[in-house]
Amino acid sequence: MIKLIKPYISFDEVKDEFEDIFNSGWFTKGKYVEEFREEIKSYTGAKYAYLTTSATTALTMALKVLDIKANDEVIVSDFSFPATANVVEEIGAIPIFADVSLETYNMLPEELEAKITSKTKAVIFVDALGNPSGIHEIKKICEKYNLALIEDAACAIGSSENDVRCGNIADITCFSFHPRKLLTTGEGGAITFNNDTYVDFFEIKLNHGAKVTDGKFDFVDFGYNYRLPELQCVMGIKQFQKLDIIVCSRNKIRDEYIKGLEPLGFEVQKLSGSIVYNVQSLVFKVPSNINRDDLVKNLRENGIETTIGTYCLSGTTYYKNKYNDVQKNAMFLEENTITFPCYDDVDIKYIVAKIKEYT
């Protein structure tokens, strides 16, 4: 089977540090946590970085630091993984779905402006499949209306727009290190920002509500444990060291697929403006005469794993039943996009040949 993903990390790369951790018995809140945080800061250019157990917990913390409350409205990109809207729902706020571009798959500026009301408190812009195209334009609109911008960069570590890396563009950025992501720690996430006034919140909330002075704990608030253990941080550090090489090689693979598939009528996810794209997921629109689900099934029978692009959030059963506000472009993309395997030794010629046979 040609699998959809392969991790960019081997046991050999981490075994010395794993041995160090086992020998020391120091499994959490140690030097590898601090090193991983430093890597994230220095790579993204953000002033602060905190680790979390996932992008979902990072996004939840982002909404909390902004003091988003029940019945506030948060405008979210509609082509994403459900976690983007779930975090809004979970705190009792209202997700307002903004439709996306059929080219970049990202939130449309005119959609955002049309959906702003007096109840809007924040915007969650998703770098769809790792592509940050258009985020600076969205940022300008947020500034105009005095709205906080959260970047759901779950897929976008290693990407940038206008020479600014994801992690240093929005007010708050949330990353995922799930195994489907380019850089994985098994599960995991991070949150980055530049605003000094958020620091106390994260120091206390991510430490069970404790303020620590001279090693003494004073539980001044209620809080959480969303910590990433030492072993997982070692995995993250190792992949950071080769992230730019990975991004470069994935772009070459993308180019190869484009050469093979565009003549067959497939259209790759577009980048607009000055973008470095990490090619987190390599997604194409299928030609109009092709049934995407049938193609996925056919390729599986030929030993090739593919999947849909991602989801139209407003069209999922839960959100459709609750808000009945399905967005047209996002639904079109959910139904007509396909993700292809993307890693160094993937047999693109075989995949293209099988698609040619099918079309």
Ligand X SMILES: Cc1ncc(COP(=O)(O)O)c(C=O)c1O
Within 10 angstroms of residue 41's Cβ, the number of other Cβ atoms is 17
Laid out side by side, the sheet with 337-340 consists of 267-268, 282-285, 337-340, 307-308
User: Which of 142, 148, 154, 342 touches ligand X (CB under 6 A)?
Assistant: 154
C-alpha pair distances (Å), 31 with each of 90, 165, 175? 33, 25, 21
User: Which of 46, 62, 66, 126 touches ligand X (CB under 6 A)?
Assistant: 126
Q: Does 176 bind ligand X (CB under 6 A)?
A: yes
Q: Residue 59 CB, nearest distance to ligand X (Å)?
A: 7
Q: Does 111 bind ligand X (CB under 6 A)?
A: no
> Among 206, 240, 205, 186, which residue's Cα sits nearest to residue 54?
186
Q: Does 108 bind ligand X (CB under 6 A)?
A: no
Q: 308 exposed, middle or buried (CB, 10 Å; 0-12, 13-18, 19+)?
A: middle
DSSP codes, 297-308:
HHHHHTTB--EE
Q: Does 80 bind ligand X (CB under 6 A)?
A: yes
User: Which of 43, 79, 81, 226 touches ligand X (CB under 6 A)?
Assistant: 81
User: Which of 134, 158, 189, 236 touches ligand X (CB under 6 A)?
Assistant: 189
Q: Does 311 bind ligand X (CB under 6 A)?
A: no
Q: Residue 214 CB, nearest distance to ligand X (Å)?
A: 35
| Residue number with CB closer to ligand X (139 or 354) | 139
- Interaction pattern, residues 242-281, with ligand X; x per rule: CB under 6 A: ----------------------------------------
Q: Does 232 bind ligand X (CB under 6 A)?
A: no
Q: Does 152 bind ligand X (CB under 6 A)?
A: yes
**Binding residues for ligand X, total number by CB under 6 A:** 15
Token digits for 1? Answer: 């089977």
Please state, in angstroms and rounded to a whole number, the distance separating the CA atoms of residues 76 and 126. 8
By CB under 6 A, which span of 49-57, 142-150, 221-229, 243-251 interacts with ligand X? 49-57
User: Which of 37, 39, 46, 56 touches ligand X (CB under 6 A)?
Assistant: 56
DSSP reduced 3-state for 104: coil
Q: Residue 5 CB, nearest distance to ligand X (Å)?
A: 12
8 A C-beta contact, residue 180 and residue 43: no
Render the burial of 249-272: b for 16+ CB within 10 Å, e for the rest: bbeebbeebeebbeeeebbbbbbe
Question: Alpha carbon 26 to chain centroid distance?
Answer: 30
Q: Residue 188 CB, nearest distance to ligand X (Å)?
A: 7
**Crossing angle of the two packed helices 11-24 and 230-240, in degrees rounded to 10:** 150
| Residue number with CB closer to ligand X (106 or 160) | 106
| Residue number with CB closer to ligand X (86 or 249) | 86
By CB under 6 A, which span of 7-15, 134-142, 151-159, 206-214 interacts with ligand X? 151-159
Q: Residue 189 CB, nearest distance to ligand X (Å)?
A: 5
Please state, in angstroms and rounded to a whole number, the distance separating the CA atoms of residues 31 and 153. 25
Q: Residue 152 CB, nearest distance to ligand X (Å)?
A: 5
Q: Are β-strands 189-193 and 48-52 bridged in parallel, bridged antiparallel, or unpaired?
A: antiparallel
Token digits for 85? Answer: 């809207």
Q: Residue 173 CB, nearest distance to ligand X (Å)?
A: 12
Q: Residue 162 CB, nearest distance to ligand X (Å)?
A: 21
User: Which of 84, 159, 269, 336 touches ligand X (CB under 6 A)?
Assistant: 84
Q: Does 239 bind ligand X (CB under 6 A)?
A: no
Q: Residue 224 CB, nearest distance to ligand X (Å)?
A: 14
Residues 6+ apart with CB under 8 A from 311: 79, 80, 81, 82, 334
Residues lying near ligand X in the complex (CB under 6 A) are found at 54-56, 80-81, 83-84, 126, 152, 154-155, 176, 178, 180, 189
